[in-house]
Amino acid sequence: MLEEKNPSKTALSALGEFALIAHLTQNFKVENKSSLVGIGDDAAVVEHAKERTLISTDLLVEGIHFDLSYMPLKHLGYKAVMVNLSDLYAMNAHPQQITVSIAVSNRFTLEALEDLYEGIALACKNYKVDLVGGDTTSSTTGLILSITALGSAPKKKIVCRSGAKENDLLVVSGDLGGAYAGLQILEREKAVFKVNPNEQPDLSPYSYSIGRQLKPEARKDVVELLNTLNIIPTAMIDISDGLSSEILHLSKASGVGFQVFEEKIPIDPEVSLICEEFKFNPLTAALNGGEDYELLFTVDQKHYDAIKSHPYLTVIGHACENSRGCNLVTGLGQQIELTAQGWQSFSEE
């Protein structure tokens, strides 16, 4: 991937900036009606007609946000787009355009960037968004990747973090802790590989969790489902930093507390097995793990029947009076205060 001395790979210096941009973006066609001018001019032009425009940006730095020794560049490209689309879905909006800016060192070859753009292209295709611009520059060592996503939503459908009301149900999509469990496996295998590069580990028992780490999907399907059910959440956020931290964000923005039931938190059996192997509580992975990119939202109680019957939605608690704070209710009925690092008693164990 990064063999700069490999003669079969093309050095970036062989192309120059303009040829590089042209090469990487040549197969991207603008598909959405709202993308009026795409790559190739000084600025892109978009039209979100009668809807509001929503914008979200993320910056990913090698060594801080990703490790290329176990994250293939194609996956990195895909995941970087997902992270941004997830933020727009968390506003109940419909992503339509992205821009991609990269800073790369000469450690990277043209083929490596082709892999990155292959992942970006796949994400664009799967989620029907257009790549409409970006910027390309050099860096001294690592890779820096910044993506901005643009989307739209009718004014009435935009969901902020701030609208949760007392007694609203707290709902999460999918299951939690998988991305964190997958990361533990990848870190372990990286360490094993350093000692014994010839060993081929069997990672198949961990495939769900590794997939959650390397190839997350933004929950477009959940936003579409809510739309079909005619449900507009009162507040919503995507789970990038772990359930605890996101609940606290909703609490702060909405001025309500939350009661969350330990037994309701959805955790995949494979994740539980990995946690057993690593001797940590699966609940910790769900509460603090992060990078699951599921949606966490509140809805009025009248929607209980519609939500509870849906396989990938779980009611995990409800909003309460602000003064009660945010608490995890254990199986034994104990209340444990949620903190951004998890629940307080955990550090005392």
Q: Among 33-41, 53-61, 280-288, 325-333, which window interacts with ligand ADP (CB under 6 A)?
A: 33-41
For residue 255, CA distances in Å to 165, 243, 247, 251 come to: 8, 18, 12, 6
For tokens 């057993």, what's the residue? 276
Using CB under 6 A, which of 77, 133, 257, 317 touches ligand ADP?
Answer: 133
Using CB under 5 A, which of 47, 135, 221, 321 touches Mg ion?
Answer: 135
Looking at the Cβ atoms of 135 and 187, the one nearer to Mg ion is 135
Listed residue (74, 247, 57, 276) closest to 171, CA to CA: 247
Query: What letters, b where the CB count within 10 A reaches 16 and e where it falls short, cover 90-100?
Result: bbbbbbbbbbb
Q: Among 47-55, 127-135, 189-197, 215-223, which window interacts with ligand ADP (CB under 6 A)?
A: 127-135
Give the chain's largest Cα–Cα span: 66
Q: Among 32-40, 72-80, 132-140, 226-234, which window interacts with Mg ion (CB under 5 A)?
A: 132-140
Does 41 participate in binding ligand ADP (rule CB under 6 A)? yes
134-173 footprint of ligand ADP as x/- string (CB under 6 A): xxx-------------------------------------
From the DSSP assignment, how many helices (H) and strands (E) are in the chain?
11, 14
For tokens 């991207």, what's the residue? 28
Give least dist CB 11 to ligand ADP, A.
18
Decide: 129 and 32 in contact? Cβ < 8 Å: yes
Does 39 participate in binding ligand ADP (rule CB under 6 A)? yes
**Among residue numbers 85 through 104, which ones bind ligand ADP (CB under 6 A)?**
100, 102
Decide: 307 and 299 in contact? Cβ < 8 Å: yes
**Which residues would be at the binding site for ligand ADP (CB under 6 A)?**
21, 25, 39-42, 100, 102, 131, 133-136
**Which residues would be at the binding site for Mg ion (CB under 5 A)?**
135
